[in-house]
A = this chain, B = another copy of it.
Amino acid sequence: MKISQKLQKAHSSSHRPTYSFEFFVPKTSQGVQNLYDRMDRMYELGPQFIDITWNAGGRLSNLTCEMVSTSQSIIGLETCMHLTCTGMPIQLVENALKDAYNSGCQNILALRGDPPHGSESTSANGNELVPEFRYAKDLIKYIRAKYGDYFDIGVAGYPEGHPEESDIDVLIGYLKEKVDAGATFIITQMFYDVDNFLSWVEKCRNAGITVPIIPGIMPISTYASFMRRATWCEINIPKNFLDQLEPISGDDNLVREKGTELVADMCEKMVAAGIQHLHFYTMNLEKATVMVLDKLGILPEYIPEEDKKNPPLPWRQSLALGREDETVRPIFWKNRKKSYVARTQDWDEFPNGRWGDSRSPAYGELENYGVLLRHSAAKAIEIWGSPKTVEDLRDLFVGYLSGKIKSLPWSDAPISNEVDSIKDQLLDINSRGFLTINSQPAVNGVKSTHPVHGWGPSNGYVYQKAYLELLVPPEVADKVVHAVEKDPDVTYYCVDSRGNLRTNSPVDGPNAVTWGIYPGKEVIQPTIVEKISFLAWKDEAFRLGAEWARCYDEDTESRRLVMGIVDKWYLINIVHNDFQDPDAIFRLFNNIH
């Protein structure tokens, strides 16, 4: 969705100020992974959008496109892609726009970038440069000509002048030209002088610039970084900032606290003057920005209970192109949502409550999507140790469930509070050797606003069938199957890595395991268990095991132990269909020894 539309929608229904975050492209792939984790967490802060900086040329600009795609389609953040034009081969600009389009990204921040040195007409690698791309407005015209109104286009504003042009009125003239060329919003350079900013905004308005103007705000982390950036950007530091920060400059904690106060004050002043949206230059850090938002009292935790909105579905929606109508997913990828989105990105049609034939198109090949173990061998051993016996494995799973271990090969994230109500029972069965890699508790019609299980519109009720997914050795698998087949309320699938399948499911069609009832609607059934997607997941689950095994040297006990899971164990999913009896699924294990 376009940023201008998002802001209009947000501000028409509430007077609460909104905010957005800027991230830059890290230099290492581990840095990228860590940033994804951080973006994933910061999603919960409810930004209206985030933006990803552009790094002209080579690997890093490809990485910009990749990060935009990941942010938009997998993390589900509305994303704005920076794009500079001078010195850029036309093909690179075109590719970047096409990638953005394909990711479902509808927002471009069009920047001039560094001017070319001398009069070069080709780039370093010999590609033709575009002589028309002298200014950002040229890029804007190019985008409008190629893509019409598809993209919202943002441009940079300079309330305190520009290194190459200090005359504010001349700069406002340039800004007006960019807006006239088709820009739809303005994000400013960082500043700390609010009075100057507000008078600059007034000048812009007087010059006939009517699009939204978004102030760019740099939270203060340390005294040194604060001074360095302000100097670099040649911006004015108000006297009270210096007066208050200079004396405590040696104490990072104090600087951050005082800096938070000062930045929060400037935000409040802007909000009081009618500015509704704040854009934070996060420098890929979380804390300083969160402290400002906290001080301002506009974090989600400060939203009154009655204004709170639950997520529209129990899993986070992708904002990728063509996925707007996606409303159904198999439960199997609950803890591996990135690989689900990646492996289904080529689908023409997504399951949407009338799943029909679209529920089980071919899943993408595992190899093509970077779905494998996310940690290096060294890191994997650091996290999961070197289990030598089945007892060690039990301890590992118990450690994950009790929060001591933050991930498992099959779960990228720490155990979620969704399973709090069944934590004791999960600990019990895992300590007895029924290793669970996925689960959900039964939920019998709680309000859709329920803080843990709620999703969808207000005035609804949500339900879940209890679900468990286990890894067990063959002899245990036999016992489990024997036990669950006695209970007419249970459906199961049991499979090994070679695809030997046992099931008591009467049909191949989906079993809805999460659903919601809402006023004036049909029943929404966003999570299902069914055969074909389970078989696709099975490949991934055993492959993750194999990747983990390879973290250990050949001829080690750990390698043999973990490869034994892949070669011999079974993956079993169990749905207890009597959702009115939440403990029933665990009682199944009482008589298995």
What residues of chain A have their CB less than 8 Å away from a CB belonging to chain B? Answer: 354-356, 444-445, 458-459, 461, 463, 488-491, 505-507, 509-512, 515, 517-523, 525, 528, 575, 577-580
How long is the Cα–Cα vector from A579 to B444 in the complex, in angstroms?
13
Contact A512 B519 (CB under 8 A): no
A458-B528 contact, Cβ under 8 Å, with A521-B509, A522-B510, A577-B520: no
**Nearest 3 interchain pairs by C-beta:** A519-B577, A491-B520, A354-B354
Chain B proximity of A513: nearest CB distance (Å): 10
Chain B proximity of A412: nearest CB distance (Å): 29
Contact of A580 among B445, B458, B518, B577 (CB under 8 A): B445
A488-B505 contact, Cβ under 8 Å, with A512-B522, A528-B522: no
A459-B523 contact, Cβ under 8 Å, with A354-B354, A354-B356, A445-B445: no
Residues of B within 8 A of A515 (CB): 517, 523
Contact B459 A578 (CB under 8 A): yes
Residues of B within 8 A of A580 (CB): 445, 461
Contact A459 B509 (CB under 8 A): no
Contact of A507 among B354, B512, B521 (CB under 8 A): B521
- A579 — nearest CB in chain B belongs to which residue? B517
Chain B proximity of A353: nearest CB distance (Å): 8
Contact B577 A518 (CB under 8 A): yes
How long is the Cα–Cα vector from A528 to B523 in the complex, in angstroms?
11
Contact of A575 among B445, B512, B520, B579 (CB under 8 A): B520
Contact B522 A459 (CB under 8 A): no
Residues of B within 8 A of A444 (CB): 445
Residues of B within 8 A of A512 (CB): 517, 521-523
Chain B proximity of A427: nearest CB distance (Å): 27
Residues of B within 8 A of A520 (CB): 491, 505-507, 511, 575, 577
Contact B511 A521 (CB under 8 A): yes
A523-B523 contact, Cβ under 8 Å, with A459-B488, A580-B445: yes
27 A-B pairs within 8 Å (CB atoms) are namely A354-B354, A354-B355, A355-B522, A444-B445, A459-B488, A459-B577, A459-B578, A461-B579, A463-B517, A489-B519, A490-B519, A491-B520, A506-B520, A507-B520, A509-B521, A509-B522, A511-B520, A511-B521, A512-B517, A512-B521, A515-B517, A515-B523, A517-B577, A517-B579, A519-B577, A522-B525, A523-B523
Chain B proximity of A575: nearest CB distance (Å): 7
How long is the Cα–Cα vector from A489 to B507 in the complex, in angstroms?
35
How long is the Cα–Cα vector from A328 to B445 in the complex, in angstroms?
23
Copies of this chain held together in the complex? 2
Residues of B within 8 A of A510 (CB): 521-522
- A457 — nearest CB in chain B belongs to which residue? B506
Chain B proximity of A359: nearest CB distance (Å): 10
* Besides A444-B445, A458-B488, 10 other A-B contacts (C-beta < 8 A): A354-B354, A461-B579, A488-B519, A505-B520, A507-B521, A510-B521, A512-B522, A515-B517, A518-B577, A519-B577
Residues of B within 8 A of A356 (CB): 354
How long is the Cα–Cα vector from A506 to B457 in the complex, in angstroms?
12
How long is the Cα–Cα vector from A578 to B459 in the complex, in angstroms?
8
Contact of A511 among B490, B522, B575, B579 (CB under 8 A): B522
How long is the Cα–Cα vector from A67 to B458 in the complex, in angstroms?
50
Residues of B within 8 A of A522 (CB): 355, 509-512, 525, 528
- Which of A518, A522, A577 is most buried by chain B, counting CB atoms within 10 A of its CB? A522
Contact B525 A523 (CB under 8 A): yes
Chain B proximity of A11: nearest CB distance (Å): 22
Chain B proximity of A357: nearest CB distance (Å): 10
How long is the Cα–Cα vector from A444 to B505 in the complex, in angstroms?
26
Residues of B within 8 A of A490 (CB): 519
Contact B509 A491 (CB under 8 A): no
Chain B proximity of A83: nearest CB distance (Å): 38
Residues of B within 8 A of A463 (CB): 517
How long is the Cα–Cα vector from A510 to B519 in the complex, in angstroms?
11
Residues of B within 8 A of A523 (CB): 512, 515, 523, 525
Residues of B within 8 A of A354 (CB): 354-356
- A519 — nearest CB in chain B belongs to which residue? B577
- A520 — nearest CB in chain B belongs to which residue? B491
Contact B519 A459 (CB under 8 A): no
How long is the Cα–Cα vector from A356 to B575 in the complex, in angstroms?
28
- A353 — nearest CB in chain B belongs to which residue? B354
How long is the Cα–Cα vector from A491 to B517 in the complex, in angstroms?
14
Chain B proximity of A465: nearest CB distance (Å): 8
- A511 — nearest CB in chain B belongs to which residue? B520
Residues of B within 8 A of A458 (CB): 488
- A528 — nearest CB in chain B belongs to which residue? B522
How long is the Cα–Cα vector from A459 to B505 in the complex, in angstroms?
14
Chain B proximity of A448: nearest CB distance (Å): 11
How long is the Cα–Cα vector from A117 to B354 in the complex, in angstroms?
62
- A510 — nearest CB in chain B belongs to which residue? B522
Contact A491 B505 (CB under 8 A): no
Residues of B within 8 A of A507 (CB): 520-521
Residues of B within 8 A of A578 (CB): 459
How long is the Cα–Cα vector from A577 to B520 in the complex, in angstroms?
7
- A523 — nearest CB in chain B belongs to which residue? B523
